[in-house]
């Protein structure tokens, strides 16, 4: 029987923000929670001990990557993903569908699933709801995601509707093949940039016995003007008593905005990927460590942060190891960015508890010069071609 | 006044091995000691906390690299190398001479020093004994190395003799410009593969007021048949009461052999560089983690090791992260190799203390199928051309 349970302990009076706790077979995490992305069985550059020190409580693993290498069967043989990667906290795995379309070669999709060739060795593979459930069972994650079709951006209404119906079909197939045990299964709401399709997707899926619900198909290249209204519209459609997970999002401003409309769970490569590229999130906003102004700076990366990196190293040192292309640059920058994200989530939880979430939200939005989700209005109609295709190059869609 | 002090607490009855303690302004380390190489102000892939956990007590910094980037002046401005890299234990810096010849472009040597162009940006620099002492003073290392000329291998007797005389001249210049304070200064014995020149170099240098003596110009591409007899001949020529440092050496077998003839200090890139290339030193001998036999292995990298890597991860996981080109591969492999080297030194110290060094030595030599320094005989005469030039490609000469 699943040990999965979600309990809300407090709701914010002025917004949709909720404070909760997610219980799994591998312990609990408080929500809102940000999951660190551990694509290939490791959060890039971090040991599990460092993850814990940085405050990480829950990790996401990528089904697509792990099924190809070292294979889900090998991981199962070695005792499952937790044991394999030395992480004893909760793990959520995605369904693999999104990465098949973004990374694999020669994909061929039918209504049942997708045939593709591995980006590693060209070997032919098949992925559908049944196989996705099998792979995620072999990995032994605590939260399993239903196999879905992440609607690309931009898409026409007709494309979006067809994609959504496929997601609904695959949701049923996922439920059919999900074996339960200690795992929980989340459904994924699609519907692209069309509010009425989001409503339909939420209505159809929320009738099904999922343990939680994700909002997929956002942060795939669209502007905040499109994303925020859709998110604001969709989140409250999901069952109040179940966890709500916004896949592949986002910036600190995105997180506080999403929490304010009732989202409980997040994952994103941004803190880890940006760290490796020399970008930090700080209480003073974004910092590019390679900038000349940091070359002689004795200042901590974030003077308000008490993580290992900020307590022990100057910006000058971080600038040096970045320029010298040292492994330690990725390690120390990732350490800080993850600690920053975890501190951000902890401060949101404290603010909800203490009834001052609105104040925190406005401070974070102002730090990053970001818009409030409540005041962003959608364009008259969703464009059918991307206004800025370069943004879409590396989507981190759920 | 220098806080530098070296005290020998025990000598092995059956060999030249000594147990001692090196006191510096940044604390003490027990000898024989292996220093981790922190070329650019970081031991590649390790945080200072991880270094401590792996048992590292003393670190080596490279003058050449640091004077070019971020510059010794900047490091001094930021409080010195210890503070800059967050390492509060003893640091030894090399003189920079060796790397100028192996890494810089367009070097031009005179009897006074060398003009060269940076391998990073092509900028013109000058390095001589005076500048080397200045740079190492700015870095604030605990042990400063005299500026020397590392005789290349192979060299004729005439070349070796000329190079040795330059080293002696630069040793005097180093003493002239060394300012003392909390730093100690070591002289470097050269003389190539010629026993009588090694005698002359030791005799000339050991009369001078150095705090310790290094054996340079070994492990530069020559075979063990040449290196071991020279080392066996040279080490006992150095003053008994001062620390003896064998630069840029070596394998576990090299270390135990060198300790048996009275060497106290070592540094080498081997544990860290090999780790990044997927090679581990273990109680069962060398392990190549990428080998197929490790793909499904639940075994620890070294079942006899209690380091973080060996306690928490299987060979299968290490094989996976190596193949997936993950940063964590370098981190975990480096962690183990450094812990292995530190454990090896600790076991040598315990064995000397307890009068069972000979037994330990023979066990380590047998683990690696290596020769005993006592039974290796030099070829009839030192060859003047390298028998295996490829070995000399990446020398780690002192």
Whether B69 has its CB under 8 Å from any CB of chain A: the answer is yes
A383 contacts: CB under 8 Å, gap ≥ 6: A154
Cβ-based burial of A293 (10 A; exposed 0-12, middle 13-18, buried ≥19): exposed
* A386 or B124, greater pLDDT: B124
Q: Which residues of A are annotated as a binding site?
A: 94-98, 148, 190, 217, 305, 307, 310, 336
Are residues B99 and B164 in contact, defined by beta-carbon separation less than 8 angstroms? Answer: no
Do A157 and A115 lie in one domain? The reply is yes
Do B183 and B104 lie in one domain? The reply is yes
Half-sphere exposure (Cβ direction) of A240: Cα atoms closer than 13 Å: 5
Task: Using alpha carbons, select from A217, A238, A60 the residue that is nearest to residue A152.
Answer: A217
Whether A273 has its CB under 8 Å from any CB of chain B: the answer is no
Q: Which of A149, A267, A302, A343 is catalytic?
A: A267
- Taking 70 as the threshold, does the pLDDT of residue A301 lie above it? yes
Catalytic, B267? Answer yes
User: Which residue, B268, B300, B326, sits at the end of a domain?
Assistant: B268
- Taking 90 as the threshold, does the pLDDT of residue B105 lie above it? no
- Taking 50 as the threshold, does the pLDDT of residue A124 lie above it? yes
- A239-274 confidence digits (pLDDT tens): 999 999 999 999 999 999 999 999 999 999 999 999
Do B251 and B285 lie in one domain? The reply is no
Q: Assess if residue B4 is contained within a domain.
A: no
Put simply, the answer to whether A296 touches B41 (Cβ < 8 Å) is no
Evaluate the omega torsion of the peptide bond into residue A154 and state whether it is cis, within 30 degrees of 0. Answer: yes
Q: What is the 3-state secondary structure (H, E, C) of B141-202?
A: CCEEECCCCCCCCCCCHHHHHHHHHHHHHHHHHHHHHCCCCCCEEEEEECCCCCHHHHHHHH
Instruction: Please state the rounded mean pLDDT for residues A194-204.
Output: 98
Q: What are the residues facing A265 on neighbouring strands?
A: A33, A245
pLDDT at B250: 97
Whether A41 has its CB under 8 Å from any CB of chain B: the answer is yes
Do B210 and B119 lie in one domain? The reply is yes
Do B117 and B255 lie in one domain? The reply is yes
Q: Find the range with the poorest average confidence among A73-82, A378-387, B202-211.
A: A378-387
Instruction: Please state the rounded mean pLDDT for residues A121-135.
Output: 96
**Distance between CA atoms of residues A151 and A146, nearest Å:** 15
Q: Find the range with the poorest average confidence among A54-68, A111-125, A334-348, B232-246.
A: A111-125
Do B242 and B319 lie in one domain? The reply is no
B292 contacts: CB under 8 Å, gap ≥ 6: none
Q: Assess if residue A377 is contained within a domain.
A: no
ipTM above 0.85, yes or no: yes
Helix (H, G, I), strand (E, B) or coil at A143: strand
What residues make up the domain containing A354?
A: 281-365
Do B286 and B263 lie in one domain? The reply is no
**Distance between CA atoms of residues B221 and B97, nearest Å:** 18
Do A147 and A77 lie in one domain? The reply is yes
Q: What CATH number corresponds to the domain at position A106?
A: 3.20.20.105
Do B157 and B297 lie in one domain? The reply is no
B82 is in an annotated binding site: no
Q: Which residues of A are annotated as a binding site for substrate?
A: 94-98, 148, 190, 217
> Could you tell me the pLDDT band of residue B379, with boundaries at 50, 70 and 90?
confident
Q: Assess if residue B7 is contained within a domain.
A: no
Q: Find the range with the poorest average confidence among A227-231, B104-108, B163-167.
A: B104-108
Q: What are the residues facing B60 on neighbouring strands?
A: B37, B92
Q: Which of A12, A94, A254, A302 is catalytic?
A: A94
Put simply, the answer to whether B314 touches A41 (Cβ < 8 Å) is no
Instruction: Please state the rounded mean pLDDT for residues A58-87.
Output: 98
pLDDT at A390: 38
- Taking 50 as the threshold, does the pLDDT of residue A398 lie above it? no
Domain count for chain B, please give it. 2
**Distance between CA atoms of residues A322 and A320, nearest Å:** 5
- Please give the DSSP secondary-structure letter assigned to residue B249: B
Minimal CA separation from A62 to chain B, in Å: 13
Are residues A149 and A190 in contact, defined by beta-carbon separation less than 8 angstroms? Answer: yes
Do B131 and B44 lie in one domain? The reply is yes
Task: Using alpha carbons, select from B57, B3, B107, B36 the residue that is nearest to residue B273.
Answer: B36
| Nearest-CB residue to B327 (from A49, A69, A330) | A330
Put simply, the answer to whether B321 touches A40 (Cβ < 8 Å) is yes
Q: Assess if residue B74 is contained within a domain.
A: yes
Q: Assess if residue B380 is contained within a domain.
A: no
pTM for the model stands at 0.95
**Distance between CA atoms of residues B323 and B370, nearest Å:** 30
B217 is in an annotated binding site: yes
Q: Assess if residue A203 is contained within a domain.
A: yes
> Could you tell me the pLDDT band of residue B101, with boundaries at 50, 70 and 90?
confident
B94 is in an annotated binding site: yes
| Nearest-CB residue to B320 (from A41, A86, A332) | A41
CB-CB neighbors (< 8 A) of A44 in chain B? 326-328
Cβ-based burial of B372 (10 A; exposed 0-12, middle 13-18, buried ≥19): middle
- Taking 50 as the threshold, does the pLDDT of residue A397 lie above it? no
Whether A84 has its CB under 8 Å from any CB of chain B: the answer is yes
Q: Assess if residue B373 is contained within a domain.
A: no
pLDDT at B106: 74
Half-sphere exposure (Cβ direction) of B41: Cα atoms closer than 13 Å: 34
Q: What are the residues facing B31 on neighbouring strands?
A: B20
Minimal CA separation from B389 to chain A, in Å: 29
Q: What are the residues facing B61 on neighbouring strands?
A: B93
Whether A48 has its CB under 8 Å from any CB of chain B: the answer is yes
Q: At what angle do helices A327-353 and A252-260 cross, to 10 degrees?
A: 20
Residue A204: alpha-carbon gap to chain centroid: 23
Do B324 and B360 lie in one domain? The reply is yes
Q: Which residue of B has its CA nearest to A78?
A: B298
Q: What are the residues facing A26 on neighbouring strands?
A: none
Task: Count Cβ–Cβ pairs < 8 Å, chain A vs chain B.
Answer: 108
Do A215 and A115 lie in one domain? The reply is yes
User: Which residue, A237, A268, A299, sits at the end of a domain?
Assistant: A268
pLDDT at A56: 98
| Helix residue ranges, H only, chain A | 48-53, 63-68, 72-77, 81-85, 97-103, 129-139, 157-177, 195-206, 224-234, 252-260, 270-276, 308-312, 315-323, 327-353, 357-367
Instruction: Please state the rounded mean pLDDT for residues A164-191.
Output: 98
B190 is in an annotated binding site: yes
Catalytic, A240? Answer no
Q: How crowded is residue B346: how many other Cβ atoms within 10 Å of its Cβ?
A: 16
Structure tokens at B50: 């991880």
Instruction: Please state the rounded mean pLDDT for residues A18-45.
Output: 98
Q: Assess if residue B227 is contained within a domain.
A: yes
Minimal CA separation from B239 to chain A, in Å: 39
Q: Which residue of A has its CA nearest to B74?
A: A296
Half-sphere exposure (Cβ direction) of B392: Cα atoms closer than 13 Å: 17
Minimal CA separation from B281 to chain A, in Å: 21
pLDDT at A1: 61
Structure tokens at B84: 């800059």
């Amino acid at each position: 029987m699943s040990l999965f349970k979600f309990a809300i302990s407090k709701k914010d009076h002025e917004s949709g923000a909720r404070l909760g706790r997610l219980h799994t077979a591998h312990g609990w995490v408080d929500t809102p929670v940000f999951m660190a992305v551990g694509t290939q069985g490791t959060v890039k550059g971090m040991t599990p001990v460092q993850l814990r020190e940085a405050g990480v409580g829950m990790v996401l693993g990528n089904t697509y990557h792990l099924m190809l290498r070292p294979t889900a069967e090998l991981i199962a043989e070695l005792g499952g993903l937790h044991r394999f990667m030395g992480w004893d906290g909760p793990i959520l795995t995605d369904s693999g569908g999104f990465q098949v379309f973004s990374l694999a070669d020669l994909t061929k999709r039918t209504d049942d699933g997708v045939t593709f060739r591995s980006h590693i060795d060209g070997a032919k593979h098949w992925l559908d709801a049944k196989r996705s459930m099998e792979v995620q069972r072999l990995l032994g994650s605590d939260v399993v995601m239903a196999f879905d079709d992440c609607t690309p951006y931009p898409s026409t209404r007709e494309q979006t509707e067809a994609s959504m119906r496929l997601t609904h079909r695959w949701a049923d197939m996922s439920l059919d093949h999900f074996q339960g045990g200690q795992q929980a299964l989340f459904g994924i709401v699609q519907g692209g940039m069309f509010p009425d399709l989001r409503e339909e997707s939420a209505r159809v899926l929320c009738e099904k016995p999922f343990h939680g619900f994700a909002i997929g198909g956002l942060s795939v290249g669209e502007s905040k003007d499109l994303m925020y209204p859709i998110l604001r519209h969709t989140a409250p459609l999901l069952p109040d008593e179940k966890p709500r997970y916004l896949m592949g999002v986002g910036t600190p401003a995105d997180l506080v905005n999403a929490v304010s409309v009732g989202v409980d769970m997040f994952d994103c490569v941004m803190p880890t990927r940006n760290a490796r590229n020399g970008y930090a999130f700080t209480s003073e906003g974004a910092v590019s460590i390679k900038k000349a102004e940091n070359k002689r700076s004795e200042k901590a990366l974030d003077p308000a942060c008490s993580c290992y990196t900020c307590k022990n190293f100057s910006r000058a040192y971080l600038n040096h190891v970045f320029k010298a292309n040292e492994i330690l640059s990725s390690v120390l920058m990732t350490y800080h960015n993850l600690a920053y994200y975890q501190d951000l989530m902890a401060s949101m939880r404290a603010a909800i508890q203490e009834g001052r979430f609105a104040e925190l939200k406005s401070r974070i939005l102002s730090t990053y010069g970001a818009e409030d989700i409540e005041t962003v209005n959608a364009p008259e109609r969703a464009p059918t071609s991307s206004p800025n295709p370069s943004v879409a190059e590396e989507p981190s869609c759920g």
